[in-house]
Chains A and B, each alone.
Chain A
Amino acid sequence: MRITCPLCGERDRREFYYRGAALEAPAEGGSLEAWHAHVHLRDNPAGPVEEWWYHQQGCGSWIRVRRDTSSHEMLAVQLASAQEDL
Chain B
Amino acid sequence: MGFLFEDGNFALFRDGFLQTIELSALSALLALLLGTLLAACRVSPVPVLRGFGTTWVTLFRNTPLTVLFFAVTFGLPPLGVHFSHLTFAVLALGGYTASFVCEVLRSGINTVPLGQAEAARSLGMTFGQTLTQIVLPQAARTVLAPMSSVFIALPRNSAIAGAFSVSELYSAQQTFSERGYSIFAIFFWVACAYLVISATVALLFRSLENRLAVAR
Task: Tell me whether A and B are bound partners.
Answer: no
B interface list, Cβ under 8 A from A: none
A interface list, Cβ under 8 A from B: none
